[in-house]
Amino acid sequence: MNPVRSRDHDYGDNKDMKKDNTIQKNKENSESVVSRPTSNGVEAKIYNQKGAETGTISLPEKVFAVKWKSDLVHQVVQSMRSNKRAGTADTKDRGEVRGGGKKPWKQKGTGRARHGSSRSPIWVGGGVTHGPLAKKNYKRKISKKMRAQALFSVLSKKLKDEEILFVDTLSMSSIKTKDAVKVVENLAKVTDWKMKDSSLKPRVLTALFGRNEKTEKSFRNIPALELVFLKNLNPFDVLNYKYLLIENPVESIKFLESRGQ
């Protein structure tokens, strides 16, 4: 047998063996990925005010396991920002500014540049060119379905990034910010959330399911938190904060699920 040909044959066998090993490893990796437990779309833990786990809750996939839709989220957020504009900014052009009817000086013979009005945009006290007008309408229409799908997309991304925490209740026996701070500290230890950053802006958006005067007044003085009612939850607010805290997850998730119908 030709030794050169035998080496070629051995090399081909080694190559096939390496290929088989690679395919087997890829299969094992794919199987491990499929069977790996995840928290974005199936279950999530529920904690109490002391930071102890009290159980789990099944999350609907259409709310917390939605594909990230950047174009839709951008469209909805920009529309919401535009709808918040008062639209009261107004400027006057050269035809609306009082005065300027007389020609400042004659056309020729003075050595200066020719002008027809002292209210020209290039004059001090003249009109404004291309300025904002109060008659412009900044309102944009957002359908309920678009708003709901954008919210579900943002919630799914937050859950995937482990930036959502479910708490069974945030009820307080009395109005005391000191007790509310203890609750926040207990929850922060569980999640390793960083409540403060260099900007000193609130980082946790707390969604309350219903009105509770003691809870609202106890938590509203904490700089790291911002309170909002779940019925008013929207993509703009959720994206504006790093973390999201949802109270009464059973009823809250039922309400969120109903918004997509």
Residues 159, 103 share a domain: no
Whether 184 and 224 have beta carbons less than 8 Å apart is answered as yes
Residues 247, 182 share a domain: yes
Percent of the chain with pLDDT over 70: 82
Residues 133, 197 share a domain: no
Residues 249, 159 share a domain: yes
Residues 155, 75 share a domain: yes
pLDDT at site 145: 94
pLDDT at site 31: 41
For residue 60, give every residue at least 6 positions away whose Cβ sits within 8 Å of its Cβ, in sequence order, or none: 253, 257
Q: Is the pLDDT of residue 208 over 50?
A: yes
pLDDT at site 190: 84
Residues 76, 102 share a domain: no
Residues 223, 155 share a domain: yes
Residues 146, 190 share a domain: yes
> Among positive and negative, which fits the CA dihedral 97, 102, 104, 106?
positive
116 within domain boundaries: yes
CATH label of the domain that carries residue 241? 3.40.1370.10
Instruction: Give the mean model confidence (pLDDT) for residues 1-6.
Output: 47
162 within domain boundaries: yes
Residues 205, 180 share a domain: yes
pTM of structure: 0.73
Higher pLDDT among residues 218 and 197, named by residue: 218
31 within domain boundaries: no
Structural domains counted in the chain: 2
Domain that holds residue 184: 43-85+139-259
Stretch among 22-31, 32-41, 90-99, 247-256 having the lowest mean pLDDT: 32-41
The pLDDT tens digits for 162-174 are: 899 999 999 898 9
**What is the spatial distance between Cα 22 and Cα 17, in angstroms, rounded to a whole number?**
9
Residues 230, 160 share a domain: yes
The pLDDT tens digits for 136-161 are: 899 999 999 999 999 999 999 999 99
8 within domain boundaries: no
